[in-house]
A and B are shown apart, each in its own frame.
Chain A
Amino acid sequence: MTGGKFWKRIKRSRQLHWIILLPMAFIVFFNFVPMPGIALAWKRYIATKGIYGSPSVGWDNFKALFSYPMFWPAFWNTLSIACLKLAIGFPVPILTALLLNEVGSKAFKKTAQTLMYLPYFLSWVVLGGIIMSLFSLDGGINSLLQAVGFPPVFWLGKAGWFIFMLVFTEIWKNFGYGTIIYLAALTGIDKNLYEAAAIDGAGRWKQTLHITVPGVLPIAALMGILNLGTVLNAGFEQIFILNNALVAERATIIDTLVYDVTFADRNYGMATAMNLFKSVISFALILSGWFLANRYSDYRVF
């Protein structure tokens, strides 16, 4: 290609560059300009000197981080809570979609589906408020339990129950949304397949097993792969709101620890180091997820 042609192309696309200028300006200014601030991970922050004037401390922040008593517990809490949520949460929307698909009544199906994704739209603040009210020691759930003769449960104050609540409420918030995705995939399955199978004598169960399940499998696999990038996201907003002193040891995750180290300890250097540690691992995982998705399905991010 000659230089002249290239300039002609640039000239012809001039307006496209003008169009993208404003959004790109926002993206660069608010995302890339603060990025060199990551240098704080190798500095001791002094407010009067600013980020770039503060003295360097080499790898001290990282050394301090790895010997910080709460760091490794928080790291393992993050991994275990996130993996529990992914593992238990993954099949729920698939099963719900399969069950909804068996419902004959259109009105019931539509109503149930609409109600199910209501929590998805509510913030963790609102849901946290509802959960704290219903699951407190004297809350509605315990009243129901006592009415049928069970002892009350300290849902949000016992570490084991607390983890259960984290997993349970996360799934409860999101399963309706996932169900929509899988239902969309189910409606895409060719109806002729079912008729052909019925003629061949396949019952409902066989049809589900051999037509419906393979029909949603590609999307399920894609969702699973893309979840890879989230194994260090245990759910900051949820845990930040529901966390309390009684369960903190088991419920503190990297993200909440970063917040505490920043605003309680005011140790900006170590907080930045911790954030960076997490970002680098997450970054690698997200890229692997995209790579796998690209490779094994027709999913394309860009």
Chain B
Amino acid sequence: MARKISKGRIAFQIVNYALLGALALSCFLPVVHMLAVSLSDKIYAEPKLVGLIPKGFTLGAYRTLFAGRTFSHALLVSVIRTLAGTAANVVLTVLLAYPLSKNSREFPFRAVYMTLCLIVMVFNAGLVPNYLFLNGLGLFDTVWVLILPGAAPVFSAVLMMNFMRALPKDIEEAAMIDGAGYFRMLAAVVAPLSLPSIATVSLFAFVGHWNSWFDGLLYNRSMDHYPLQTYLQVVLTARAPSNIDSAATQVGQNLKAAQIFIAMVPLLLVYPFAQRFFVTGITMGSVKG
């Protein structure tokens, strides 16, 4: 249908594109700026003369970072906790979601399990009891303390449970008649069908583990065991806990920028793929039709 486009419409479109473009750039340009600073020479970076293009291009900041042991080690801790933590999260989410996706006729005591999960979603012991509990277990200063306490993510399990509920029933019933038990059913039928949901949960878990820093700050007595984000937090805020050498926080702008940029890299790599998963994740959770 050919229609005359009004002047008002054209004006609106121009303003609209400009506004949305500006919003989008505001989310993106700070990242470019950080990259530019990290690749710039100290003499430009320190007085903050760098905009979006590196001045006096150098890889010096990155070389300095990886020459030191602390940064590389923090990076290693982050990689380990992210890989192991994500794997644990995904496996336990599937194991939790599948039984809960059954109704209470098929799965007696479902209400008991579900109630426990709901309590966890709305209430927790709080900072000090958790702190003393994990300390008492002797988990401090190990990578386990970053993985185990949150290993079974209830919220993700509820999302996945809703996804599994929406799967067509007849496939499972057919397998049931063939004599398959629930173990086989989960492994051979339900898990493969739930791959989109598993992808969503993996993404949540990956981002959550990589970005997590407060647990690292609480449950480590020495900086040697910090994951990258915790280490970075101490460097950036220059508010090192008293037991930590404050010299570590005296670093230049380009070094700070390089550390920030490295902390972003894994997310920059996964996030373009994230949108599809997030939409399914959200729609299967909250906006069920």
In the complex, are the beta carbons of B183 and A15 less than 8 A apart? yes
Instruction: Please encode chain B, from 1 to 37, with 1 for each CB lying within 8 Å of some chain A CB and 0 for all others.
Output: 0000000010011001101110111111011011001
Of the candidates B102, B207, B260, which one forms a contact with A130 in the assembled complex, judged by CB atoms under 8 Å apart?
B260
In the complex, are the beta carbons of B128 and A37 less than 8 A apart? yes
In the complex, how many angstroms separate the beta carbon of A120 from the nearest chain B beta carbon?
9
Contacts of B274 in A (CB 8 A): 117, 121
Q: Which A-chain residue is minimally distant from B234 (CB atoms)?
A: A125
Main secondary structure, interface of A, reads helix
Instruction: Please encode chain A, from 227 to 255, with 1 for each CB lying within 8 Å of some chain B CB and 0 for all others.
Output: 00100000011001100000000000000
In the complex, are the beta carbons of B17 and A279 less than 8 A apart? no
Contacts of A287 in B (CB 8 A): 122
In the complex, how many angstroms separate the beta carbon of A118 from the nearest chain B beta carbon?
5
State whether the Cβ of B188 lies closer than 8 Å to any Cβ in chain A.
no
In the complex, how many angstroms separate the beta carbon of A195 from the nearest chain B beta carbon?
9
In the complex, are the beta carbons of B17 and A27 less than 8 A apart? no
In the complex, are the beta carbons of B118 and A302 less than 8 A apart? yes
Contacts of B214 in A (CB 8 A): 236-237, 240
Of the candidates B98, B114, B125, B287, which one forms a contact with A31 in the assembled complex, judged by CB atoms under 8 Å apart?
B125
> Which B226-273 residues sit within 8 Å CB-CB of chain A?
229-230, 232-233, 236-237, 241, 253, 256-257, 259-260, 263-264, 267-268, 270-272
The CA-CA distance from A51 to B126 in the complex, in Å, is 14
In the complex, are the beta carbons of A185 and B127 less than 8 A apart? no
In the complex, how many angstroms separate the beta carbon of B254 from the nearest chain A beta carbon?
11
Query: Are A116 and B24 CB-contacts (below 8 A) given A38-B126, A184-B279, A301-B118?
Result: yes
Q: Which A-chain residue is minimally distant from B241 (CB atoms)?
A: A263
State whether the Cβ of B92 lies closer than 8 Å to any Cβ in chain A.
yes
Contacts of A259 in B (CB 8 A): 127
In the complex, how many angstroms separate the beta carbon of A20 from the nearest chain B beta carbon?
4
In the complex, are the beta carbons of B232 and A125 less than 8 A apart? yes
In the complex, how many angstroms separate the beta carbon of B266 from the nearest chain A beta carbon?
10
Q: Which B-chain residue is minimally distant from A287 (CB atoms)?
A: B122
Most chain B beta-carbon contacts within 10 A, residue among A96, A126, A268, A298: A126
In the complex, how many angstroms separate the beta carbon of B284 from the nearest chain A beta carbon?
11
In the complex, are the beta carbons of B23 and A126 less than 8 A apart? no
Contacts of A115 in B (CB 8 A): 24-25, 27-28
In the complex, are the beta carbons of B127 and A133 less than 8 A apart? no
State whether the Cβ of B130 lies closer than 8 Å to any Cβ in chain A.
yes
State whether the Cβ of A139 lies closer than 8 Å to any Cβ in chain B.
yes
Query: Are A262 and B128 CB-contacts (below 8 A) given A122-B264, A134-B30?
Result: yes
State whether the Cβ of A181 lies closer than 8 Å to any Cβ in chain B.
yes
In the complex, are the beta carbons of B108 and A10 less than 8 A apart? yes
Contacts of B117 in A (CB 8 A): 27, 302
- The segment out of B79-87, B145-153, B166-174 that lies at the interface is B145-153
Contacts of B59 in A (CB 8 A): none
Instruction: Please encode chain A, from 3 to 25, with 1 for each CB lying within 8 Å of some chain B CB and 0 for all others.
Output: 00010011001011111101110
Instruction: Please encode chain A, from 163 to 184, with 1 for each CB lying within 8 Å of some chain B CB and 0 for all others.
Output: 0000000001000110011001
Query: Are A31 and B48 CB-contacts (below 8 A) given A13-B108, A15-B181, A130-B30?
Result: no
**Extra 15 A-B pairs, beta carbons < 8 Å, given A27-B96, A121-B211, A258-B127:** A6-B108, A19-B182, A23-B93, A31-B119, A31-B120, A32-B119, A102-B12, A122-B264, A123-B229, A129-B256, A133-B34, A138-B48, A262-B128, A276-B126, A298-B289
What are 23 A-B pairs with beta-carbon distances under 8 A? A6-B108, A13-B107, A19-B98, A20-B99, A23-B157, A30-B151, A36-B129, A37-B126, A40-B128, A96-B23, A102-B13, A118-B31, A123-B263, A129-B236, A133-B48, A181-B287, A240-B214, A258-B126, A259-B127, A262-B128, A271-B127, A275-B127, A299-B286
